[in-house]
Amino acid sequence: AAVAIVQTAQGKNLQQAITVGDLPDDPTKVVGTLAGEVGTRSSFEKLVKKPSDISSRSPLQDFYGMITPSDLHFERHHAGVPTIDPNKHELLIHGLVEKPLVFKLSDLKRFPSVSRIAFLECSGNYRTGKETLSPQEICGLTSQSEWTGVKLSTLFREVGVKPNASWFLAEGGDAAVMTRSIPVKKGWDDAIIAYAQNGEALRPEQGYPVRLFLPGWEGNTSVKWLRRLELSDAPFMTREETSKYTESVNGKIRQFSFDIDARSIITYPSYPQRIEKGWVEIRGLAWSGRGKVVQVEVSTNAGKSWQLARLQEPILDKAHVQFRYLWEWKGESTEIMSRVTDETGYVQPTYQQLIAARGADGGYHFNAIASWQIKPDGAVLHKPEK
Amino acid sequence: AAVAIVQTAQGKNLQQAITVGDLPDDPTKVVGTLAGEVGTRSSFEKLVKKPSDISSRSPLQDFYGMITPSDLHFERHHAGVPTIDPNKHELLIHGLVEKPLVFKLSDLKRFPSVSRIAFLECSGNYRTGKETLSPQEICGLTSQSEWTGVKLSTLFREVGVKPNASWFLAEGGDAAVMTRSIPVKKGWDDAIIAYAQNGEALRPEQGYPVRLFLPGWEGNTSVKWLRRLELSDAPFMTREETSKYTESVNGKIRQFSFDIDARSIITYPSYPQRIEKGWVEIRGLAWSGRGKVVQVEVSTNAGKSWQLARLQEPILDKAHVQFRYLWEWKGESTEIMSRVTDETGYVQPTYQQLIAARGADGGYHFNAIASWQIKPDGAVLHKPEK
Amino acid sequence: IASDTAHFPRSFGLGRVATQVEIKKLDIDVRPDGKGLPIGSGISAKGKSIFELKCAPCHGIGGVGGPNGSLVSSVPAAGKRPERTIGNYWPYATTVFDYVRRAMPFNAPGSLTDEEVYHLTAYLLHANKIIDETTVIDAKSLPKVVMPAHQLFIPDNRKGGPEIK
Amino acid sequence: IASDTAHFPRSFGLGRVATQVEIKKLDIDVRPDGKGLPIGSGISAKGKSIFELKCAPCHGIGGVGGPNGSLVSSVPAAGKRPERTIGNYWPYATTVFDYVRRAMPFNAPGSLTDEEVYHLTAYLLHANKIIDETTVIDAKSLPKVVMPAHQLFIPDNRKGGPEIK
Ligand code: HEC
Ligand code: HEC
Ligand SMILES: [Ca+2]
Ligand SMILES: [Ca+2]
Ligand SMILES: [Ca+2]
Ligand SMILES: [Ca+2]
Ligand SMILES: [Ca+2]
Ligand SMILES: [Ca+2]
Ligand SMILES: [Co+2]
Ligand SMILES: [Co+2]
């Protein structure tokens, strides 16, 4: 087992060799690796995102708990991950403000700060169509971190947002120069200009050195590598809020569909796992962009009846919550699934309900219940929807 | 800026090159790195633990939020970090039980699980004596993770702990074959047999593949690389609970001092940071091994008066909590410090109070208020205690 | 609690005032009402030759069928849904200018002159049969172009609660 | 809530029953009452030669002053506090056997035979003037050795609340 982690950082090498050589037969008889500067994963753990060119999906089926390791947070970008010098990067706020201001990263860090644990989900986070799909493939474009930054409201006070400002443009410093129009109200409510994630600086894939973070809203609106906010009296109708991130609904096109509808997914047991007869703790994640998860129900008989799952505290606002349900599996063929109810009374719909409500065009914000087929040999397969 | 992360895992290479080559002058004009399997830190962020041979301290002054990145979680071990094959590792529970059982890691993961965010602190976590000490050097042997595992009480039920069992021995599979005696009551209360940390498997330095986790208790009792629990009617009086992890108190030696007393530390501003005139958000962490943090007070005039700091929710049981206090610094020489009160009414003491209560021997469980001297030029220095 | 701002000073005095010059450098967005459009103008014929050189490799000859997606509407193959293009899915013509200028060509973003972007915009609108080949596209005419998809767009009508929408 | 176990079955049926043989292999601990001590015995003289070979490089000749700390009490240098050793800080003699067997020598832990550990234990107790040089250390005698530090140990008396202890 040869294991090493090498981080070449601006000319400085950090090297942390955990083990190079053979595995000891008896680890109690050899002194282990001495303390180091940076830890690493065990070489036995192979956690990887599933990348395409434009996105990379979190391995939900491999996770425990509600925090996503930062290096496994899903990625979605429209022109790659830029490399940004944090000492040069600035955030400009202008437009309908009393006083347009430019903030260095160090300025942003000096403002009163706030931290919150919240999910971030891409609204294009749904796959179905074959049995051999894992949670990562079905909906791996959701992850959760503890985000730290300055409230946008604090910066709004500083620049003096004018009363007639109703929208603002958020613009990234990546090669897509990503732009979204956001209602000013969200900025006053709970938007964060985030510079940290899970205890440390944002990771490059998550917007280093600074991003917008809009709790509960579709991921694309939380513009990464943020360089500019322009206050305005109208939305800007950027490509990302017209050609993309809009849904064809019954012949119309739904726009500015910001909220992430409540959703849940069983991550254990799931494909490609296998179960054995006996007690199985069904585990999963549930979340809502509209507030708190109120309950999660689990069905172990293909939806004929539903039982309340247990929720792991703390149950946080606009956050992934772990749910668990203890099930004795006797070897029968069946289907298991979960559905969440959020604090607005919204109940996660079936695929068929969504199609009935929206028409058959699919598209963004597809939060349907996902079912797992349990085979008599313990195999677990996704149930493709149609 | 050449940056790369290489993880050679059991013959498989994961390579994630973020940037090799020069920094782009304008990141909006070059396509960035495409999506990858594993992310990495920005090459501009140099976060490192401070290692000796036997421990490595978390860089508290560089953190944001309450979660410690797993690879920066403090380390303390007595014979290095072992390399353990999770497929061979087993946990034996025997002694005063109805049915001695051996659990594979996969067995442990099948039991009902629990997650909680809690700190872990080494009871030997105190340094003072010179001005150029950072929070990392003063008390970097504390970190916080979301831990997931099976409750020890669930395993106690399974093996049938006998009524006369009052202590249990926890034994590690490292080269120190670390052992501690723990009251059975703690096992029933809130002990966790943890196999995951911050969403993924434990890191090797934190006990991979399985450890005991005793919320609120001195770190050494949360035995890592756990291989054996023996139920007994008396403590075992191991070297780690006699020769070490005991305190000389007024001529006596205090033993089985498990609880971590309430403590806080200002992490910003702190050495080696510097402040500028104007508004400074004083930030820090506060925690108690006896339950929840109730309040944190901050003094900006060397302890003459104290003001209530704001606490970041969620305020969790036996967990690091972030506190913040907004202060206008006008350039004066002063001292700033924080003190926490926990839900038992315990108020973090001064160094002098601790010496008065315990005698001058120092030792473990030294949780004194730490003060920072603010110099007129903005330099921040630790105030050595005596 | 942390959200309370009653204890904040009127200003933290952080950051520096932005000059008009530096705002102008960054302020590249274009709104539907034309705000943000630069001087210059374009026509479809000139846009066509730029497109063939710089865009067709990714978006297809005539803007149809390239590896990175069609930009121009065409009759779909039998049984297929029409591809979403500028012609059938974009509500505002100004977005073409804004997006092409900020993000295209993908392999050299930010490399086009305003004049080139005007030409390309004219070309893409003409290829989609929205304007005729003589229309000059500039800061005045572009906001007035009415897009076929315009009337399809409705704001989000979901609002939580029991209803599935 | 997650802590509730009312819905648990009597047994989850996970894990396998441990055999006495496998328990014995792992059950290496030694309690103050002698439980866990193996057969065998040791005397200080034999322990001394093993110590000089395998331990003195790290713990000093005679157990005083090595790079990894003294194990034997000695008169401290003027103005210094005495080093904490087996002689002045260890409450139970059985801990010496238990610890040396499981963890020492640091560079080859688990390499000593039980007999060697008995000899080393006898040596360390004698060097610390706790037993005389003729005392044979075995499963019977070791638990009876009364350590000088024994009476110093008290259980934790902190209990939260306002009192600083
Ligand atoms: C090297 C490949 C490449 C070249 C060359 C290229 N594009 Fe693109 N284009 C893309 C990709 C990839 C996307 C999708 C980007 C994303 O994911 O956001 C795209 C998207 C677009 C879109 C948005 C399509 C939609 O429906 O939302 C337009 C408009 C566009 N390109 C115009 C152009 C023009 C005009 C040029 C030439 C000046 C050009 N492109 C050159 C690759 C290319
Ligand atoms: C290569 C160095 C090395 C050798 C050889 C070595 N030791 Fe140690 N010893 C150590 C270290 C290091 C420690 C402290 C371990 C820790 O941090 O827990 C230690 C600790 C001890 C302690 C506990 C001291 C205390 O006050 O808690 C005893 C007893 C001990 N050794 C006995 C022995 C004996 C007996 C031998 C020979 C059989 C031996 N050592 C060989 C390095 C060594
Ligand atoms: Ca290490
Ligand atoms: Ca949307
Ligand atoms: Ca990447
Ligand atoms: Ca203690
Ligand atoms: Ca503008
Ligand atoms: Ca035993
Ligand atoms: Co999205
Ligand atoms: Co400790």
Q: What is the mean pLDDT of residues B25-41?
A: 95
Same structural domain, B355 and B336: yes
CB contact under 8 A, D109 and A29: yes
What does the alpha-carbon distance between residue A222 and residue B207 come to, in Å, rounded to a whole number?
36
Bridging pattern class, strands A114-121 and A179-183: unpaired
Same structural domain, A215 and A315: no
- Ligand 8 centre to CA of D29 (Å) is 5
Sequential DSSP letters for D18-66: PPHHHHHHH-----TT-TT--S-EE-HHHHHHHHHHHTHHHH-GGGSS-
Same structural domain, A239 and A317: no
Q: Tell me the nearest-neighbour CA distance from C16 into chain B, angstroms.
A: 15
Cβ atoms of B324 and B69 within 8 Å: the answer is no
Q: Is position D79 within any domain?
A: no
Is pLDDT at C2 greater than 70 in this prediction?
no
Neighbours of ion ligand 3 (CB under 5 A): A 33, 36; B 81, 205
Q: Is position A40 within any domain?
A: yes
Q: Which residues of chain A neighbour C99 with C-beta distances below 8 Å?
A: 238-239, 243
- pLDDT tens figures, A15-34: 334 444 568 899 999 999 99
B203 touches chain A (CB under 8 A): yes
Q: Is position D110 within any domain?
A: yes
What does the buried/exposed string (b/e) look like for A160-198 if buried means 16 or more CB atoms within 10 Å of the residue's CB? ebeeebebbbbbbbbbbbbbbbbebebbeebbbbbbbbb
- pLDDT tens figures, B256-280: 999 999 999 999 999 999 999 999 9
Domains in chain B, number: 3
Same structural domain, B299 and B341: yes
Q: Is position B81 within any domain?
A: yes
Q: Is position D76 within any domain?
A: no
Q: What is the mean pLDDT of residues B52-76?
A: 97
The last residue of a domain, from among A254, A274, A305:
A254
Q: Is position C97 within any domain?
A: yes
What does the alpha-carbon distance between residue B80 and residue B71 come to, in Å, rounded to a whole number?
16
- Ligand 4 centre to CA of A366 (Å) is 10
Same structural domain, B34 and B119: no
Rounded to 10 deg, the angle between the D94-103 and D114-127 helix axes is: 130
Q: Is position D38 within any domain?
A: yes
What does the alpha-carbon distance between residue A89 and residue C92 come to, in Å, rounded to a whole number?
32
Q: Is position B32 within any domain?
A: yes
Q: Is position D53 within any domain?
A: yes
Q: What are phi and psi of A248, to 5 degrees?
A: -80, 115
Q: Is position D14 within any domain?
A: no
| Closest ligand 1 atom, residue A176 Cα | 18
Is pLDDT at D131 greater than 50 in this prediction?
yes
CATH of residue A207's domain is 3.90.420.10
ipTM of the complex: 0.95
> What Cα–Cα distance (Å) separates residue B362 from each residue in B122, B216, B366, D85, D87?
15, 21, 7, 17, 21
Same structural domain, A243 and A370: no
Q: Is position B55 within any domain?
A: no
Same structural domain, B37 and B140: no
Q: Is position D13 within any domain?
A: no
Q: What is the mean pLDDT of residues B87-107?
A: 98
Torsional sign, CA A229, A231, A235, A237: negative
CATH of residue C120's domain is 1.10.760.10
What does the alpha-carbon distance between residue B264 and residue B219 come to, in Å, rounded to a whole number?
17
The last residue of a domain, from among B220, B254, B288:
B254
Does D71 contact ligand 2 (Cβ within 6 A)? Answer: yes
Q: What is the DSSP letter of D112?
A: S
At B3, the pLDDT band (50, 70, 90 cuts) reads very low
Bridging pattern class, strands D153-155 and B252-255: parallel
| Closest ligand 1 atom, residue A244 Cα | 27
pLDDT for residue B20? 45
Same structural domain, A274 and A362: yes
The last residue of a domain, from among B224, B254, B284:
B254
- Ligand 3 centre to CA of B77 (Å) is 10
Residues 63-102 of D with CB under 8 A from A: 102
Same structural domain, B249 and B110: yes
Q: Is position B14 within any domain?
A: yes
Specify the residue for token string 């507030």.
A291
Residues 19-38 of B with CB under 8 A from A: 19, 23-24, 27-38
Same structural domain, A202 and A83: yes
Q: Which residues of chain D neighbour A312 with C-beta distances below 8 Å?
A: 2
| Closest ligand 2 atom, residue B54 Cα | 17
Using CA coordinates, name the residue in chain C closest to A100.
Answer: C18
Q: Is position B56 within any domain?
A: no
Tens of each residue's pLDDT in chain A, 386 residues: 333 444 333 222 333 344 445 688 999 999 999 999 999 999 999 999 999 999 999 999 999 999 999 999 999 999 999 999 999 999 999 999 999 999 999 999 999 999 999 999 999 999 999 999 999 999 999 999 999 999 999 999 999 999 999 999 999 999 999 999 999 999 999 999 999 999 999 999 999 999 999 999 999 999 999 999 999 999 999 999 999 999 999 999 999 999 999 999 999 999 999 999 999 999 999 999 999 999 999 999 999 999 999 999 999 999 999 999 999 999 999 999 999 999 999 999 999 999 999 998 889 999 999 999 999 999 999 999 98
Q: Residue C103: left if φ>0, alpha if ψ -120 to 50, beta else—which one?
A: alpha
Q: Which residues of chain C neighbour B311 with C-beta distances below 8 Å?
A: 1-2
Q: What is the mean pLDDT of residues D60-79?
A: 94
pLDDT for residue C78? 87
Contacts of D118 (CB under 8 A, 6+ apart): D40, D41, D42, D47, D97, D137, D138
CB contact under 8 A, B198 and A67: yes
Same structural domain, B230 and B349: no
Q: Is position A237 within any domain?
A: yes
Domains in chain D, number: 1
Pick C2's closest partner by Cβ from B26, B312, B328: B312
Same structural domain, B207 and B267: no
Does C107 contact ligand 1 (Cβ within 6 A)? Answer: yes
Cβ atoms of A265 and A339 within 8 Å: the answer is no
Q: Is position B51 within any domain?
A: no
Range of the domain at A22: 3-46
pLDDT for residue A15? 34
pLDDT for residue A21? 54
Is pLDDT at B13 greater than 90 in this prediction?
no
